[in-house]
Chain A
Amino acid sequence: MDDINYVTCIPLWDCLLVPLHGDVSDTHADELVTEVLERIQRDECFGVLVDLSGVWTLDSHLCATLARLSLAAKMMGAKTVLSGMKPEIAMTLEAMGIELRGIETVATLEDALGSMGITRVRRSRHDDDDLVMRSLLGGSNESDSGAKR
């Protein structure tokens, strides 16, 4: 795989975050399917978040590839959610009659995380003070993470 077609898969708790950007070639799209499915098996992921915020163009072939990825991931027990589709791309797909059936699409990456049951828990200042005190006293803190599932 050359640098141009490098697929970025970021492990995020039990999910995979796959940001797509620029001009996604057919080769890149095919590599994406292979890489993501392998990572689902290897990392035992239950969710795939494909973020389209940086994608320039989404044509019928790329849509079909994403649908194929979603279906295959589902067979492996993982749910796929698309996020960040630009308005002009959504309008173009609608005009072409492409519906992306069977794929959950949401507006933002935050919504995609929410769809996977990952939500943000805001800590109060009081909690932060407790955390500092516990650290100073050498205690551990299980609720260190800002996100909760």
Chain B
Amino acid sequence: MTLAATTDDEELVVPIANESDLNHARMVARETCKLVAIRGYQAQKVVTTVSELARNIARYAQTGRVRFRVDTSDEMIVVIAEDSGPGISNLDEILAGQYRSRTGLGRGLLGSRDLADVFDIQTSPAGTIVKIAFRYGQRKSWTTSTT
């Protein structure tokens, strides 16, 4: 398997263009969890969230990327999923739990928010950036916000 991920100093970037890239993103998420020695439920939350966000990019934006970083000072795994797709016009409806997708359960983005310790989303017709973070140490979490 060819790893298309690139490292930018302390960041690992996985390009997302189609469904097959989801496996790659999940694999990098698992490896990142191993790196900070988290497993079980903690690791499952990270991998599942990455899977949801990467699928959203592949399905709705066609192209984008997922960036992984370990913030050792705050003891957080930071994941940024970004794309230059059409944006999410019904974000409020989705985050209120009132949306049900034709293909899934409509819980991908909402579930990601519930799983992550930090969740921030910014969307516009120029694209979407979702920033999530998971605590792997004992420090207190940041706040959650949406734009």
> Residues of A with Cβ closer than 8 Å to B?
23, 25-27, 56-61, 63-64, 67, 87-89, 91-92, 95-98
Contacts and interface: CB of A to CB of B under 8 A. Distances in A.
Contact of B105 (A23, A56, A63): A63
B87 interface: no
Given A96-B111, A97-B114, A98-B107, A57 B44 contact: yes
Chain B contact-residue range equals 20 to 34
B44 A97 contact: no
Main secondary structure of the interface of B (DSSP, over half): helix
Given A23-B23, A92-B44, A92-B45, A98 B111 contact: yes
B120 interface: no
Contact of A60 (B20, B40, B52): B52
A63 B55 CA distance: 14
Contacts, number: 75
Residue of A26, A56, A63, A96 with highest tally of chain B CB at under 10 A: A96
A98 B52 CA distance: 13
A61 B108 contact: yes
Contacts of A64: 103-105
Interface of B: 19-20, 22-23, 26-27, 30, 40-41, 43-45, 47-48, 51-52, 55, 97, 103-108, 110-111, 114-115
B45 to A, nearest CB: 6
Closest 7 CB pairs of A and B: A96-B111, A88-B41, A88-B44, A59-B51, A64-B104, A60-B107, A92-B44
Nearest to B47: A57
A97 B48 contact: no
Contact of B48 (A27, A57, A67, A87): A57
A92 B110 CA distance: 13
Contacts of A89: 44
Contacts of A23: 23, 26-27
Given A25-B20, A26-B19, A95 B114 contact: yes
A131 B102 CA distance: 57
